Structure 1
């Protein structure tokens, strides 16, 4: 089995205090590793380390409080933590400054302390989120395990994101999220749908109350919720058998549905007007 063990920490920041938030998260990550010594990947909610303010309270410094280039002093701390704990680390997302623009950016750090992937959120939550959209899709490989794709929060509402990540070979989509509103239930629906139609695992970790409404989920390649949090702080430990992705794609979801095979078999028959008349190009792994 190609087993990937994930600890999704549903937590909250210390509002407005970047240093206190970092110290708190570092302790939580250490506790998560101590509780699950076999954990491969630790994941945190979107923008956690930016110390967002309290819900429905003015926060004029939200986009500048922690914004910095990558690498930065903060990423040096993150890479050091990953190296010390011996884990892959996706610490939510960061506010990245680059050429006068600010991006909502997720990074993936290896156990050796190397930033192996940097993903800029393609679909900021308009009009509320003012960061600049990213322009590319990112995956990275965990040697001996499999391929992981990165998405952030509102990206999950656009099926094109998960479909492109799966097309690039992702078997797991890690999706840090910070949702404070009651449409969280529909985000869970989309996590299940994205997992089902692409035959991937989805790890969608939201902020805890009161920063977010919680309800983080880990979904399997058949769209079934493996674990679901409540509203408060907790850790979801997910043991993901990535061979189940191979199985679902070869034998069909629930032993029936083979969407990738059918797309491959029917390529060239149908063009997609919304994509300029493009036709489907099967992925290399299909």
Structure 2
């Protein structure tokens, strides 16, 4: 089996206090790994380490206060933590500041050797509330002998093109740090299930806990079924993802019925997509025609 054992920590920052938030985060990651030594990937909510405050509390300096370069002091600490614990780490997202002063909402994947192996800038910031700049690239990374992981962030899940592209690139699980503070969380869960079902991938969507977020983190399997769902408060979803199941579902169909990727491989040359300027879709290399 190709097993990915995850700990999705639904937690909160200490609003406005970057150092206290780091201390909480570090202690929780250590505790999760200690409690379940087999865990090999830990993920936390979007912007956790930026220590955001309540949704409608005006804080014009929040992004500038949390901004960090990549690499930099924060990423050095993250790399040391991943190396010390021997885990893959997706530490939510950071406010990334580039050399020319631009700010992005950026997710990282850090290896157990303490190296940054992937950097993903959120493609669809939540407008108008989120003022950080959008990224321009889809990002996946490989966990040796396990499988390929795609990165998405929060509102990206409302755009099916993101999950479809990540799956096309070979992702078998999508890790989606999220910070949702509003009552549309139910629809985000609908989209997590739909994106998993349509692309036959696992989706791990971990939200911030109350009172900063509304919680309800989910782990969804490649057939669109919710494996686990959190409540509103702080908790950890431990899940063991058998990535071989992705191959099985794609081969035999979701619920033994539907094979969308195989059908797309059969029919992609027959269709043009007006919304994409009349382009056709190439099947991924791994797709098997019906």
**TM-score, normalised via structure 1 length:** 0.99
Look up the match of 1:74.
74
Look up the match of 1:44.
44
Look up the match of 1:268.
269
Look up the match of 1:160.
161
Deviations 1:194-236 (A, max 9, x none): 0000000000000000010000000000000000000000000
What's the CA shift for 1:182? 0.2
Q: How many residues align?
A: 286
**TM-score, normalised via structure 2 length:** 0.98
Look up the match of 1:202.
203
Look up the match of 1:55.
55
Separation in 2, partners of 1:3, 1:68: 33
Q: Secondary structure at the match of 1:38?
A: coil
Look up the match of 2:184.
183
Look up the match of 2:123.
122
Look up the match of 2:91.
91
- 1:55–1:210: 8 Å Cα contact kept in structure 2? no
Look up the match of 2:222.
221
- 1:9–1:44: 8 Å Cα contact kept in structure 2? yes
Look up the match of 1:250.
251
Look up the match of 1:143.
144
Structure 1 stretches of 4+ with a deviation exceeding 3 A read: none
Deviations 1:246-281 (A, max 9, x none): 001111101110000000001211100000111110
Look up the match of 2:8.
8
Residues 105-120 of structure 1: matches in 2 within 5 Å?
A: 105-120=106-121
Look up the match of 1:234.
235
What's the CA shift for 1:144? 0.7
Compare 60-69 and 215-224 and name the one that shifted more. Answer: 60-69
Separation in 2, partners of 1:110, 1:54: 32
Q: Secondary structure at the match of 1:230?
A: coil
1:25 matches 2:25:
yes
What's the CA shift for 1:32? 0.3
Deviations 1:95-121 (A, max 9, x none): 001122100000000000000000000
Deviations 1:115-152 (A, max 9, x none): 00000000000111111100000000000100000000
Separation in 1, partners of 2:94, 2:29: 17
What's the CA shift for 1:58? 1.6
What's the CA shift for 1:56? 2.4
Q: Secondary structure at the match of 1:13?
A: coil
Q: Secondary structure at the match of 2:150?
A: strand
Deviations 1:143-183 (A, max 9, x none): 01000000000000000000000000000000000000000
